[in-house]
Amino acid sequence: MTTSIGTGPGRALVAVYGLFSLAAGARAAVQIAGRFGEAPLAYSLSAFAAIVYIVLTVALLRGARRLALAALGIELAGVLIIGTLSLVDPAAFPDETVWSAYGRGYLFIPLVLPLVGLYWLWRRR
């Protein structure tokens, strides 16, 4: 029996990803519009994170399991890679991204969220 991934408790996941889409997108837009020259890599990565969150929101809403899994993998890899690099080489990130220090600026939710999403998708097989 296949169950929709964006229904029931999955709606909370959709809501959180929708909120993160808005938060990361607004942050990136302000940073890119006003101070792009100060930290182009960091601000571009924030914009990329926003795109990943948008894709995840839509994939979960539409029940696109494969797309959601791929986006969750990208998100988790991004959080781990950018989180580690931002701690190892802080000079490369003169300003924070959504994924800097494993999402410290967002209470580490960017680190936990893909794990919750993967658990939800595996559970809803």
Look at residue 60 in the predicted model and tell me its pLDDT.
Answer: 92
Distance of CA 67 to the CA centre of its chain: 14
Q: What is the C-alpha separation between 71 and 52, in angstroms, rounded?
A: 6
The 10s digit of each residue's pLDDT in 18-69 is 999 999 999 999 999 999 999 999 999 999 999 999 999 999 999 899 999 9
Q: What is the C-alpha separation between 33 and 87, in angstroms, rounded?
A: 26
- Secondary structure of the chain: what % helix, strand, coil (to 5)? 80, 0, 20
30 found inside a domain? yes
Name the band, by pLDDT with cuts 50, 70 and 90, for residue 2: very low
For 96, which DSSP code? -
Q: How many domains does the chain have?
A: 1
29 found inside a domain? yes
By percentage, how much of the chain surpasses pLDDT 70?
96
| Residue 68 CB partners (closer than 8 Å, separation 6+) | 5, 56, 59, 60, 117, 121
Q: Which domain holds residue 57?
A: 9-124
Contact 82, 98 (CB under 8 A): no
94 found inside a domain? yes
